[in-house]
Amino acid sequence: MLSVTEASARVRARVPRLPTEPVSIWAARGRILAAPWRAGRPLPPWTNSAMDGFACRAADLPGELPVVGEVPAGHPRVEPVPPGAAVRIMTGAPLPPGADTIVMFEDARADGDRVVLPAAKLGDHVRRAGEDVAVGDVVVAAGARLDAAALALIAALGGAEVEVGRAPRVAILSTGDELVDVATPPGPGQIVDSSAHALAAMCRDAGAAPTYLGRVGDELAATTAALTAALGYDAVITTGGVSAGDHDHVRTALDGAGVELAFWKVAMKPGKPLAFGVRGATPVFGLPGNPVSTVIAFELFVRPALLAMQGAAEVDRPRAPVVLPAGYRKPAGRAHFLRARLDRDGERLVARLHPRQGSAMMSSMIGCHALVEIPADAEAVAPGATVAAILLEAR
């Protein structure tokens, strides 16, 4: 059976890079920056005070100086501070001409219109123009995911709009006669199509724009027709109907819809029955139906693909070594991905496996910090051994 590594490589070799588009910085969170963002102005833009205090000349300190004015933030003082004098200044206010040093209020003793100031080093509590970012600096690299810090920095440099990889339009199609919409009380033998909600959320987290195409029953012609219609999107995700059951039609439907199959079945647990193929430039992921398998297969294959389509430089989650106090046993053959919470023990991360690891047990994903990976060829992990874990965002 195909290894996870080989399956990942096949996906990556086949996903296209989408064109870029401009978006408002207000809508750019989680999107992938298309080109390096260069500073067109310095930060800070002008020399200013890092403290609420008194602006003066270091050469006049220590001393008792007359206070000759006040500089609030947003109100530059153009008049120079005369030698032997001080002005009150607030954090973020431009340093007035003549002053070279700030003494913070806490170190000063004000007495009417005079102030006693201790000795200070030239330039104390002064933020120099350009000390954070110089004109021409690349502040955010191409392919970076726009997080809070990147958005703040780009905004500080006047970026009202940013060019990002187009959000992949992802079609989500659920299969199964048993599925009903969340708003419908399930009848006998029916369950809610819950995986559609996990998939839509995970797509959004990956910067993509999901559309739920609804549910299709376990019938070949209907599945083929729904799949064919879904191929107008940038990527397609189906759930269920992809294993070897009597009513699993996704694989045959992929063929009928003209999707060229790149693989079916990956040596992993959960998530073995997983089909991937392309029609033209459109990747199609036939994810397994069990909800935990769906989520893990998305994590391992779909999320990296959606990020790559947007031009992300980094598509994999970070990994870390974790201690497995309980050890683990399994037959050789498939890699296991175990849901775990992580606790710190000094410098080490300790994985506490969720007691219910069944692929249909969605409750194991709640509070799950990491997927502990037990390699395909491993049979026994000794108690206390260190293994690799994929770090998920805190859930």
Residue ranges in contact with ligand AMP by CB under 6 A: 174, 176, 178-179, 191, 193-196, 239-241, 243, 245, 288-291, 360
* CA distances for 180 relative to 184, 194, 197, 228, angstroms: 6, 9, 13, 22
Q: Which of Mg ion, ligand AMP, none does residue 290 bind (CB under 5 to 8 Å by kind)?
A: ligand AMP
Is residue 176 involved in binding Mg ion (CB under 5 A)?
Answer: yes
Q: Which of ligand AMP, Mg ion, none does residue 194 bind (CB under 5 to 8 Å by kind)?
A: ligand AMP
Shortest Cβ 195–ligand AMP spacing (Å):
4
Please check whether residue 302 is in contact with residue 331, taking contact to mean a CB–CB distance below 8 angstroms.
Answer: no
SS3 207: coil
Residue nearest to ligand AMP (CB): 289
Q: Residue 53 or 289: which CB sits closer to ligand AMP?
A: 289
Is residue 241 involved in binding Mg ion (CB under 5 A)?
Answer: yes
Residue 106 contacts by C-beta under 8 Å, 6 or more apart in sequence? none
Q: Which of Mg ion, ligand AMP, none does residue 292 bind (CB under 5 to 8 Å by kind)?
A: none
Is residue 94 involved in binding Mg ion (CB under 5 A)?
Answer: no
User: Which of residues 168, 240, 273, 286 is near Mg ion by CB under 5 A?
Assistant: 240
Q: Residue 223 or 310: which CB sits closer to Mg ion?
A: 223
Q: Residue 292 or 349: which CB sits closer to ligand AMP?
A: 292
Residue with tokens 């694989």: 251
Q: Residue 32 or 242: which CB sits closer to ligand AMP?
A: 242
Shortest Cβ 294–ligand AMP spacing (Å):
7
Q: Which of ligand AMP, Mg ion, none does residue 174 bind (CB under 5 to 8 Å by kind)?
A: ligand AMP
Q: Which of ligand AMP, Mg ion, none does residue 271 bind (CB under 5 to 8 Å by kind)?
A: none
Shortest Cβ 261–ligand AMP spacing (Å):
17
Query: How big is the chain by its Cα radius of gyration, in Å?
Result: 29
β-pairing, 268-269 vs 319-324, is unpaired
Full DSSP string of 42-92: -BSSS-EESSSEEEE-GGG-SEEEEEEEEE-TT----SPPPTT-EEEE-TT
Query: Which residues are 380's β-sheet partners?
Result: 329
Q: Which of ligand AMP, Mg ion, none does residue 343 bind (CB under 5 to 8 Å by kind)?
A: none
Residue 141: name the closest of 247, 37, 25 by CA: 37
Which of positions 260-319 make contact with Mg ion (CB under 5 A)?
289
Q: Which of Mg ion, ligand AMP, none does residue 223 bind (CB under 5 to 8 Å by kind)?
A: none
Q: Residue 30 or 240: which CB sits closer to ligand AMP?
A: 240
Q: Which of Mg ion, ligand AMP, none does residue 195 bind (CB under 5 to 8 Å by kind)?
A: ligand AMP
Q: Residue 54 or 298: which CB sits closer to ligand AMP?
A: 298
Instruction: Specify the long-range contacts of residues 374-379, CB closer than 8 Å, at least 24 apart.
Output: 374/328, 374/330, 374/335, 374/336, 374/337, 374/338, 375/335, 376/3, 376/4, 376/267, 376/268, 376/332, 376/333, 376/334, 376/335, 377/332, 378/330, 378/332, 379/329, 379/330, 379/331, 379/332
What's the CA gap between 121 and 319, in Å, rounded? 45
Question: Which spans of this chain sit near Mg ion (rule: CB under 5 A)?
Answer: 176, 240-241, 289
